[in-house]
Amino acid sequence: MKIKWTTPALSDLSSIQEYIRRDSEFYAARFVERIIEAVEGLKIFPDIGRQVPEAEEENIRELLFNHYRIMYQVEHGQIYILAIIHGSRDIKQKKNQPWNVV
């Protein structure tokens, strides 16, 4: 399966890196590398993540990584990375839901 990063997911990744970079350039880069490694594992096991309860759609799933939710959609032999959201955020309150990107 091929992984495709959506624009919002890339923006989330960049924001996370910028936030951590305030304290440490090294740890910011390492954290982002680890997120990317976790996402790459989806190529082999695309259904490893749990269904996103808020989405109510079977093909919208998430990997839990540290305190972040990596949301993705499996569709037509592709894996779309939709968003990377801190677990403390209430996504039900968001105007645009992450799974409405694709």
Contacts with 15 (C-beta within 8 Å, 6 or more apart), sequence order: none
Residue 63 lies in a domain: yes
Across 39-48, b (16+ Cβ under 10 Å) vs e yields: beebeeebee
Q: Which amino acid is at 28?
A: A
At residue 101, the pLDDT reads 62
Least confident window among 29-33, 55-59, 79-83: 55-59
Domain membership of residue 101 (yes or no) is no
Range of the domain at 82: 2-89
CATH code: domain of residue 73: 3.30.2310.20
In a domain, 43, yes or no: yes
| pLDDT exceeds 70 at position 94 | no
Using the Cα atoms of residue 44, residue 58, residue 2 and residue 17 in order, give the sign of their dihedral.
Answer: negative
Q: Which of 72, 83, 16 is nearest to 43 (CA)?
A: 72
Strand 2-5 with 78-86, pairing: parallel
- Give how many domains the chain has, as a whole number: 1
Give this prediction's pTM: 0.87
Across the range 8-28, mean pLDDT stands at 95
99 assigned to some structural domain: no
